[in-house]
Amino acid sequence: MDELDRRILNRLQSDGRCSYADLGRLVGLSVTAVKERLDKLQRNDVLRRYSIIVDEKKVGYGVLAFVFIGIDDPEDCAAFERQMLEIPQVQECHHVTGGFNYLLKVIANDMSRLEDLLLQRIKLPGVVSRSETTIVFSSPKNSPFVDCVANGA
Amino acid sequence: MDELDRRILNRLQSDGRCSYADLGRLVGLSVTAVKERLDKLQRNDVLRRYSIIVDEKKVGYGVLAFVFIGIDDPEDCAAFERQMLEIPQVQECHHVTGGFNYLLKVIANDMSRLEDLLLQRIKLPGVVSRSETTIVFSSPKNSPFVDCVANGA
DNA sequence: AGTGAAAGATGTCCGAA
DNA sequence: TTCGGACATCTTTCACT
């Protein structure tokens, strides 16, 4: 992974359809060289996948929330994680430091749906002992962009 | 936006390079009809952009953290938001409910870089009065996938 | 690791229903 | 909105440096 790979990855994050020819012009390589580099980056799972970015609000998810989860018995953690993997509205589930065990990023159609989701599928009885929900008013910044260039490595 | 659009958006999220022909077969439409729908979804900003998903760890970001920020003077909020927009390592900045004002999602090369980032560019003197940082050990789930189908709308 | 050229697949534009 | 066809562009492979 050199500077050229990083520039290519940055470009594709902002335009996933940028052609090999355009990428080549950007970094000064031929079409074939660019493709070879991307194939290798994909084999090494640096490039996980090509995708699109969808506006959550416009497809019906009006509410975004972060939920801290406390689990007293460490034996329950595996089951909890399995459950989180199955709920599409749970976009992220992080194992974290601090007074709680997990931090979830959750999207829902509206407050009422979020309430249902938390009560029925997330705060599992006998597993989740405590939780703390933070609702997002608005997001001045919400972009999955990973800057591969502005990176000390 | 109907069921067909939603199925197309879901497919493109998991494979951003899926061809119009394949998408057409998936939903029972012609190449042209699929393109026309996607053009419209993009004009309406439902489809924000095509992109790629990069492994943060593999490009050098070994640390992920969530940082709550408290700002006492509401007049300082605009300046704070402007600053967050300029820091690539701040992936998300949410205005939130609860005891703090903002919740940030931050990536950094290592703990030392995170420390520098927080002290020098995020906890602005005279603006940020309190902060609370939660470090992520691991992420059982960390996918920007927005399920457009499993959606009551 | 890099290149150019050829072949096949895909994106894009058009006129029509 | 949808379709099929024609043309331009892109992806992919190959032989070679």
Domains and CATH numbers, chain B: 3-52 (1.10.10.10), 58-135 (3.30.70.920)
C-alpha torsion angle, residues B139, B6, B45, B105 (rounded to 10): -10
pLDDT at residue A1 is higher than 80: yes
Query: Using the beta-carbon criterion (under 8 Å), do B151 and A61 form an inter-chain contact?
Result: yes
Q: Residue at minimal CA–C1' distance from D3?
A: B30
pTM of the model: 0.96
Task: Identify the sign of the CA torsion B37, B38, B42, B48.
Answer: positive
What whole-number distance in Å separates Cα of residue A32 and Cα of residue A38?
10
pLDDT of residue B58: 97
Say whether the CB atom of B24 is under 7 angstroms from strand D: yes
What's chain A's average pLDDT? 97
- Residues of B within 8 A of A95 (CB-CB) are 136-140
Residue of B nearest to A45 (CA): B55
Mean pLDDT of all residues in A1-29: 98
pLDDT at residue A68 is higher than 90: yes
pLDDT of residue B152: 61
Residue with tokens 């050990």: B137
pLDDT of residue B151: 76
Residues in chain B with pLDDT < 70? 152-153
Which backbone phi and psi does B9 adopt, to 5 degrees? -65, -40
